[in-house]
Chains A and B, each alone.
Chain A
């Protein structure tokens, strides 16, 4: 926002309240009430407003207080953000960033525990990225703001408290690039967002037991970085996707199809996928834990794959 005066933030409680997860804390004091704009409650309309402002020269960052609420903005996101550059013949671009906390939290209830990457992945014209660490959050946010395409940046409710040493100076990551988190040779594990941390936790156990997993945080959910993913599969010949989306119609489902299409000849077995159950996320802690993938399951699955049991 300091570098480019056209960047502005629109959302509920983003101003002096600093945002419901404090992502925009301090910005209103620094840049004023107009550039960090508090809106009345209507997601479809302030997303539409962000689109209109983006078409007329601003670079808007629209915050959904929870990504689940952006379902109310689906009309604007699909019919306008995704389409208008195309239907106008390239005349009007929409350099908007739509972001917010999503994913399964700690007992937030079904409506506040949604994985919108699953619903938006089909919409042509949108680009999607998911951050998972302070380092890639900063770099991807900058890249998303600078991009001329409409980008949805998925943050996770449970990752805001992560602490990490990151460079003070400016750096911009590539929106379409995956991140090699841990090189290995036994199996390729593809993951993103909060599941990255579960995979790393599982990796500790796996390494102790003598396995050597290669862990890739795909980061770019649309389009997939098939270059990085492909190179890994050509090395390990086995792939496991660990995601938080539901089994049906999630990122894992699309990624499996893309892997089968492109790297069939390099696979020893089918691409495996660990996903959440196809249920609305329940409230009770035990049930909620059973809905999402847990590190223990990842360990079991990798062992089975490496021993040729699946």
Chain B
């Protein structure tokens, strides 16, 4: 924080002086009228001008088309104001004045709420299961339930989803059952992944949700590739990919955005800006000293003066990068289910109808630890976590809106929470009891058919296993 006694800041300076370029165009047109289209005469007229204005000429390099200027002026790293954030409901779930509520009827709203609650319940129970040693790893979506579910509700089942790993709610919305979630987490033989991936790395071809791969942001180019295919087939569908504030630093983010814009691919880039990438806070993930200015009136013993105080805040996030790639973008309150629903619906329409990518930065907060391998109290305060978990809970916020429409009641809440808990625990117990995948699934799916070396390896392994009972898998 710096104390800078300053002159009052003027209007933000613009790089191109609009009045200058209009004047020069008018002048060159009138020059042509005076001297006709004869090139020599025109040249002579130009050369005879005593004051040769560089502003009259247009930049015509292949790399850009703009007007020249004789004023050297660097572009500031920050705009005067941060990009505003779209929201419909306030923090207490009340519709803001003048907001345009999207068409969400009671059955859709209640279904969304059911999914959010189920997701929250599943997360808390399975997190505890890991703590008890029943599964080896888990990762929660706590704090991002509204973002998950509302964005999923705005898509169709034909839209292909390329998730990072904190989007279980999207899959839950599409119809993945609690049993299917649990089977994958327990890596038993009933899981779709056949026990090959670590917990929460779900995938479902049927539900157009592509299997999660741990490395960050690798799914972004995949989504562009899928969108490219959809564009060629002229399908009424788009690709949707999710990533975090940390994922936006990866090279794949840059190239996927660039590719999507250049190729005009129908893909939605949904950035879940939840403030943390494991322990790295957003202000260390990206730069841009965004100054928040306060006018302070200071009275000292002998004089009073106004001070402008500059506060360092994290740079203006991911949304501003959209323009750098030539992409439509929007910033939305990720904890406001209605705003997310509306923004994603509109973005989808634009993507599909105009075959263009859209960047959506959804501001939210990662209430849980990064995963069960993390203890976030080491880098943030317990008060901060508690605040966002309770007062800023997006599920509660949405519930308040439902209640204000008389679509939800205290009894409904009690019943749903109880039922969800029972269902999740039942799914967990069932999944835990099932067998792990058999040895025959160790070598399959590496290729489409088993090549000779893998057949040999399997034969050798079975031989070893049969001679060394019983700790290795028996079948």
Contact = CB atoms under 8 A, between A and B. Distances in A.
Interface of A: 8, 34-35, 37, 39-40, 42, 44-58, 60, 75-76, 79-80, 83-93, 124-125, 127, 147-149, 176, 223, 226
Given A45-B221, A49-B224, A223-B451, A37 B263 contact: yes
Given A39-B259, A42-B259, A45-B255, A52 B448 contact: no
B91 interface: no
A49 B201 contact: no
A86 B194 CA distance: 9
Which 7 pairs of residues, A with B, have the shortest CB-CB distance?
A48-B221, A52-B222, A52-B225, A45-B255, A42-B255, A53-B225, A49-B225
Contact of A42 (B211, B219, B225, B258): B258
B215 A48 contact: no
B213 interface: yes
B221 A84 contact: no
Given A49-B224, A55-B225, 16 more contacts: A8-B232, A37-B228, A39-B263, A48-B220, A48-B221, A48-B222, A56-B225, A58-B229, A76-B218, A80-B218, A85-B446, A87-B213, A88-B192, A88-B196, A125-B447, A176-B451
A88 B448 CA distance: 13
B113 interface: no
A81 to B, nearest CB: 11
A79 B448 contact: no
Chain B interface size, under 10 / 10 to 19 / 20 to 34 / 35 or more: 35 or more
Nearest to A91: B205
Given A91-B204, A92-B205, A50 B211 contact: no
Nearest to B197: A87
Contacts of B262: 40
B464 interface: no
B448 to A, nearest CB: 5
Contact of B256 (A45, A84, A85): A45
B259 A60 contact: no
Given A42-B255, A88-B205, A92-B205, A48 B213 contact: no
B194 A52 contact: no
B203 A80 contact: no
A237 B232 CA distance: 55
Given A45-B255, A79-B213, A223-B453, A85 B445 contact: yes
A75 B215 contact: yes
A57 B210 CA distance: 13
Contacts of B229: 53, 56-58
Contact of A89 (B259, B445, B453): B445
Interface in B412-447: 444-447
A55 B259 contact: no
A64 B125 CA distance: 47
Contact of B222 (A40, A42, A80): A80
Contact of B211 (A54, A56, A58, A92): A92
Contact of B445 (A34, A54, A90): A90
A82 to B, nearest CB: 9
Nearest to A82: B446
A149 B448 CA distance: 6
A52 B213 contact: no
12 contacts: A44-B221, A48-B221, A48-B225, A50-B225, A52-B221, A52-B224, A76-B218, A88-B193, A88-B210, A89-B203, A90-B445, A91-B205
A90 B194 contact: yes
B266 to A, nearest CB: 12
B175 interface: no
Contact of A88 (B203, B219, B447, B452): B203
A220 B448 CA distance: 17
Contacts of B218: 48, 75-76, 79-80
A261 B193 CA distance: 33
B193 A40 contact: no
Contact of B225 (A51, A79, A88, A89): A51
A55 B210 contact: yes
Contacts of A47: 221
Interface string B186-200: 000001111011000
A226 B452 contact: yes
A47 B239 CA distance: 17
B251 interface: yes
B327 interface: no
B162 A52 contact: yes
A37 B255 CA distance: 15
Contacts of A75: 215, 218
B461 to A, nearest CB: 15
Given A58-B229, A92-B211, A86 B255 contact: no
Listed residue (B201, B229, B258) with the most chain A CB atoms within 10 angstroms of its CB = B229
Contact of B223 (A34, A52, A176): A52
B232 A76 contact: no
Nearest to A33: B263
A181 B415 CA distance: 76
Contacts of A55: 210, 222, 225-226
Contacts of B211: 84, 87-89, 91-92
Contacts of A48: 218, 220-222, 224-225, 252, 256
B232 A49 contact: no
A49 B221 contact: yes
B230 interface: yes
B356 to A, nearest CB: 15
B160 interface: yes
Interface in B219-251: 219-226, 228-232, 239, 251
A52 B255 CA distance: 14
Contacts of A45: 220-221, 224, 251-252, 255-256, 259
A128 to B, nearest CB: 12
B221 A76 contact: yes
Contacts of A53: 225-226, 228-229
A91 B232 CA distance: 23
B196 A89 contact: yes
A52 B259 CA distance: 13
B162 A89 contact: no
Given A75-B215, A226-B452, A91 B203 contact: yes
Nearest to A45: B255
Contacts of A39: 259, 263
B210 A92 contact: yes
B53 to A, nearest CB: 36
Interface in B329-349: none
Contacts of B162: 52
Contacts of A127: 447
Contact of B193 (A44, A60, A87): A87
Contacts of B259: 39-40, 42, 45-46, 49
